[in-house]
């Protein structure tokens, strides 16, 4: 039970000064951001947004996985989302090799054999970003007129480039 004590103590402090309660869960700024689980990415901060402004969906590589797609659909119909940003990033582990190569690295680091598992890794980042943007743009269940863009975030400069 003690494994999370440092985090719970930090949360006690956070809750003491918390004053953002009471509003509902829409995206106030109409923005939904799909990005990687990478710890170098601060989705709200990098866009000048704050708590409550945006829906954030994270996945390995910032890919549009089935759950991410579900979030986009619900967001576009019920949560005020009118712009969706697909944000991949530089030096992403999921864009540095294939699924087989990721499995090899896992064997190397922890001896667990996960060969055959689908991680969604693909070294052709341009192709995956383009595909995910087109998938959202053409998806029949996403509200028409939702703006969709594909971006690459540079984890070393903090700059976001609009690619698609
Ligand atoms: Zn990544």
What is the per-residue pLDDT across 101-158, written as a single tens digit (0 to 9) for each? 999 999 999 999 999 999 999 999 999 999 999 999 999 999 999 999 999 999 999 9
Q: How many CB atoms lie within 10 A of CB 78?
A: 11
**Residue reference for tokens 């996403």:** 142
In a domain, 115, yes or no: yes
In a domain, 125, yes or no: yes
**Which pLDDT band, with edges at 50, 70 and 90, does 22 fall under?**
confident
CA 16 to centroid of ligand 1, rounded, Å: 33
pTM: 0.94
Range of the domain at 133: 23-162
In a domain, 145, yes or no: yes
Separation CA 148–CA 124 (nearest Å): 20
Question: Binding site for Zn(2+): which residues?
Answer: 36, 38, 89, 92
CA 60 to centroid of ligand 1, rounded, Å: 6
CATH code, 157? 3.40.1050.10
CA 17 to centroid of ligand 1, rounded, Å: 32
CA 23 to centroid of ligand 1, rounded, Å: 31
In a domain, 138, yes or no: yes
In a domain, 88, yes or no: yes
């Amino acid at each position: 039970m003690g494994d999370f004590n440092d985090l719970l103590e930090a949360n006690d402090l956070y809750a003491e000064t918390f004053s953002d309660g009471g509003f509902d869960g829409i995206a106030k700024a109409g923005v939904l951001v799909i990005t990687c689980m990478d710890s170098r990415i601060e989705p709200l901060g990098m866009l000048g947004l704050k708590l409550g402004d945006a829906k954030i969906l994270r996945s390995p590589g910032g890919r549009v996985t089935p759950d991410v797609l579900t979030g986009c659909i619900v967001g576009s119909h019920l949560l005020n989302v009118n712009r969706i940003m697909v944000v991949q990033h530089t030096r992403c582990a999921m864009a540095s090799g294939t699924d087989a190569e990721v499995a090899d690295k896992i064997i190397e680091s922890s001896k667990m054999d996960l060969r055959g598992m689908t991680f969604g890794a693909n070294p052709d980042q341009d192709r995956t970003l383009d595909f995910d943007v087109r998938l959202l743009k053409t998806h029949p269940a996403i509200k028409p007129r939702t703006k969709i863009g594909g971006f690459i975030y540079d984890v070393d400069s903090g700059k976001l480039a609009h690619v698609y």
